[in-house]
Amino acid sequence: MDDSRDKYAKPGKGNRNDRAGEGRRPDWKPRDRSDPRPGADRDRSDRRGAADRQTRNKPGFDRRGKQENLIIGRNAVAELIRSGAPVDRIYASGVEGSVIPILAEARAAGITVIETTNEALDRMAGGERHQGIAAAAAEKAYSTVEDILKIAEERGEKPLIVVCDGIEDPHNLGAVIRCAECAGAHGVIIPERRACGLTPAVARASAGAIIHMAVAKVPNIASVIETLKKAGVWTFAAEAGGTDFFEADWNLPCAIVMGGEDSGVSRLVRERCDFTVSIPMYGHVNSLNVSTAASVLLCHAARMQRKGG
């Protein structure tokens, strides 16, 4: 019987490692190693490597790619909660076993719990064994909205507050806190979810201002607007299409609401604010970075409050 495989028979002792290529199929060609795209496998590997390098180089991550302020493991997280140290939030990839009482303690302590995946925790932990739970330790203890109002009362000043409606970049939040402190503001309010907390990167970006600034973390920004209004504070949403900020009356107890980097002030929050103010743009670029805009409004509001008009 004619076996078609005979034409691929290996003469003598030829094999795959034969340097002369004996025993190879006639149409076989060695891979061109100079080809910058030798195959999809290498492409995927390159992309993974680039992503890992990007994470390691990202502010707030160490050389292994682990978040600098991340406490991992069930025992470590449980002890952190019991110690009373400030905790920004807790991440859990599953509610089971000994994780259940840990999360119960966290919620009882008012700590935000976010359910995530094992893959996400792997990335955050830089490959270290996390046991399905991790805690992001805050750089300082959070204050309350009442604490901020009390600070203004003790100073004998009209409240000047910054409300951050979804700022996610730690450098922006740190810069806003720095601007608020320099302008003599009494506190900054941030949301629990979909926003940056008081991480080491925020502390560095604030250039030390975080130590002197009361920062409150609240479940809902729209609700806190109502709380501030009941306390006699007038709320100003910084958004396009509003009144020129030079024409607004800032000689009031006021809270300036700054929106997120991409979305701005959310619709519900904007609708609950007393005023909408805008910074006129005279150049080709139609908007300012959120921390830059905050500095403009804060400095003007602080001057008007102190000047008395």
Residues 114 and 160 reside in one and the same domain: no
Residues 183 and 278 reside in one and the same domain: yes
> What is the domain-level CATH number for residue 129?
3.30.1330.30
Question: Could you give the 3-state DSSP secondary structure of residue 176?
Answer: helix
Instruction: Say what the pLDDT of residue 16 is.
Output: 43
Residues 233 and 292 reside in one and the same domain: yes
Residues 131 and 162 reside in one and the same domain: no
Instruction: Say what the pLDDT of residue 40 is.
Output: 45
Q: Is residue 16 part of a domain?
A: no
d(CA 19, CA 17): 6
Residues 89 and 211 reside in one and the same domain: no
Total tally of structural domains belonging to the chain: 2
Residue-by-residue pLDDT tens, the chain, 309 positions: 455 444 444 444 444 444 444 444 555 555 554 544 444 444 444 444 444 444 343 434 444 444 657 888 888 888 888 888 888 889 998 777 888 999 999 999 888 898 888 888 888 888 788 888 998 888 888 999 999 999 999 999 999 999 999 898 989 999 999 999 999 999 999 998 888 888 888 888 888 898 899 999 999 999 999 999 999 999 999 998 899 999 999 999 999 999 988 888 999 999 999 999 999 999 998 889 999 999 999 999 999 998 875
Residues 154 and 202 reside in one and the same domain: yes
Residues 156 and 124 reside in one and the same domain: no
Q: Is residue 33 part of a domain?
A: no
Q: Spell out a b/e string for 212-227, using b for 16 or more CB atoms within 10 Å of the CB, else e.
A: ebbbbbbeebbebbee
Q: Is residue 48 part of a domain?
A: no
Q: Is residue 44 part of a domain?
A: no
d(CA 285, CA 305): 30
Residues 130 and 197 reside in one and the same domain: no
Instruction: Say what the pLDDT of residue 79 is.
Output: 85
Q: Is residue 176 part of a domain?
A: yes
Instruction: Say what the pLDDT of residue 227 is.
Output: 96
Q: Is residue 15 part of a domain?
A: no
Residues 152 and 132 reside in one and the same domain: no
Domain boundary among 137, 170, 197: 137
Q: Is residue 59 part of a domain?
A: no
d(CA 229, CA 66): 41
d(CA 191, CA 178): 18
Residues 274 and 196 reside in one and the same domain: yes
pTM given for the model: 0.69
Residues 254 and 295 reside in one and the same domain: yes
Asked whether 193 and 114 are in contact (CB, 8 A), the reply is yes
Instruction: Say what the pLDDT of residue 14 is.
Output: 45
Domain boundary among 113, 137, 161: 137
Q: Is residue 78 part of a domain?
A: yes
Instruction: Say what the pLDDT of residue 202 is.
Output: 87
Domain boundary among 121, 137, 153: 137
Residues 112 and 155 reside in one and the same domain: no
> What is the domain-level CATH number for residue 228?
3.40.1280.10
Domain housing 108: 66-137
For residue 214, what are the CA distances in angstroms to 131, 160, 199, 218, 300? 34, 12, 15, 13, 21
Tokens of 100: 């259940």
